Amino acid sequence: MISTAIPSEPSMAPDMAPAADPSIPGIKALREAIPARCFERSLLRSLSYVARDLVAAGVLFYSAVCLTRLDAPWTITVPLWVLYSFVQGLFFTGLWILAHECGHDSFSSHLSVNAAVGWALHSVLLVPFFSWKFSHSRHHRYANHMKKDTVFVPNRKPSAESSPPAPTFMERLVDHDAADMPIVSLVTLVFHQLFGWPAYILLNAGAGVESMTKSRRGETPKYKQSHLDPTSPVFTAAEGPYVLLSNAGLVSVLAVLYQVAQSLGYRNTFLMYGLPYLWMNHWIGTFYVRARSQWQKLMFVQWPSPTSTTRTPMPLTTTNITGHTKRAPCQRWIANLASLAATFSMASSSTMSCITSSRKLSSVPYPPPHKWISN
């Protein structure tokens, strides 16, 4: 049984409605309005979803192995690789979400099954399952807390009497609302969609200043805030062994990918696994940002003191946090479309580059796909 509780922190009241509008029902009232059958967890149905996505991903992977041996001009192979990477990225994302449900123990009523399935699925996607689970549980516990939330904490507008240092390049890159030029916004969006998730895992990017269990973020080097470090202050001492177990899963998958690269080539391995992985990063970033933006339209939570359970609702606008005005709906749509187009363009250019450069290796006698997979 994996416990993600944080005993040292106060818990929120189960039926606390926003103080600004007491007519809004609390969590308890909303939960009681949902039919009981909606809370029943079926292990068989959950495993059927896993099997469905694994079979689909396996079929697509086999087709990609066949595609590596297709002797056709780039005008045919590049669109095929882009199509493959996009569709495979969708199934990667589906498996990521199933492991996410395992992390919340909503996959089934069996905690050991949830831990095993989540660890296996997330490891395949190069996600440290238990490491993510621990920090993610704190994210839900302190969602929208300006200091204790573990992800997507926006930069705050400096007070008039303070003189904060100018933001670094990485800080401006993480906070795309602070970018004043469209080109910078586009580059920032691409960074968010493709590398935001790895940056969170490796550097704890986007976390609040008081989100860690042992120290403040500013007092700890960024490399020590990694989700891969069992001694990181992101985790408690009891969580350290599970961080090592998460790392073992990543090492195992990387070893398999290395063997695949030895058999099919590094470029083909990137096309088969790397491009769908980037698409998965894109969708994860999209889901997280969209989900948070819907909640942030209602309120932004702040705790007056570490020992208080009273939350003060505050209408969230970009002006409250960064000093910039909120984007109009058309601007948000343009930003979303630009992000998707940039991701698609990068996938296309990466595919074309790999295809072109791999022409030199076309004479390498790769084993037939069915023999390679059977081995």
Residues 84-120 have pLDDT tens digits of: 999 999 999 999 999 999 999 999 999 999 999 999 9
Report how far apart the first and last C-alpha atoms of the chain are (Å, whole number): 35
Query: Rounded to whole angstroms, how far apart are CA atoms 291 and 336?
Result: 14
Query: Rounded to whole angstroms, how far apart are CA atoms 170 and 204?
Result: 13
Q: Is 188 helix (H, G, I), strand (E, B) or coil?
A: helix
Least confident range from 154-163, 303-312, 348-357: namely: 303-312
Angle value at C-alpha 200, between 194 and 205, nearest 5 degrees? 110
Query: Rounded to whole angstroms, how far apart are CA atoms 278 and 355?
Result: 17
What is the per-residue DSSP string for 37-97? GGG---HHHHHHHHHHHHHHHHHHHHHHHHHTT----HHHHHHHHHHHHHHHHHHHHHHHH
The pLDDT confidence band at residue 67, using thresholds 50, 70 and 90, is very high
Which residue would you say has higher pLDDT here, 206 or 172? 206
Tell me what pLDDT residue 196 has. Answer: 85
Question: Cβ contacts of residue 304 below 8 Å, gap of 6+?
Answer: 310, 312
What is the per-residue DSSP string for 195-254? HHHHHHHHH-TT--TT-SSSS-GGGS-GGGG-TT-TTSTTS-GGGHHHHHHHHHHHHHHH
Which residue would you say has higher pLDDT here, 147 or 351? 147
Question: Cβ contacts of residue 179 below 8 Å, gap of 6+?
Answer: 172, 185, 188
Query: Rounded to whole angstroms, how far apart are CA atoms 142 and 12?
Result: 9
Phi and psi at 101, nearest 5°, equal: -65, -35
List Cα–Cα distances, 280 to 42, 48, 94, 125, 271, in angstroms. 26, 21, 9, 9, 14
Encoding tokens for residue 318?
């970009």
Residue 274 DSSP label: I
Least confident range from 25-29, 157-161, 279-283: namely: 157-161
Cβ(91)–Cβ(60) below 8 Å? yes
Closest CA to 195 of 221, 213, 176: 176
pTM: 0.71
Q: Which helix (H) or strand (E) holds 27?
A: helix 27-33
What would the pLDDT profile of 301-337 be if each residue is shown by its tens digit?
A: 444 444 444 344 433 333 333 333 344 444 455 445 5
Query: Rounded to whole angstroms, how far apart are CA atoms 130 and 133?
Result: 5
Query: Rounded to whole angstroms, how far apart are CA atoms 170 and 235?
Result: 24
Query: Rounded to whole angstroms, how far apart are CA atoms 346 and 349?
Result: 5
Residue 267 DSSP label: H
CB atoms within 10 A of CB 148: 23
Cβ(224)–Cβ(239) below 8 Å? no
Question: Cβ contacts of residue 350 below 8 Å, gap of 6+?
Answer: 270, 275
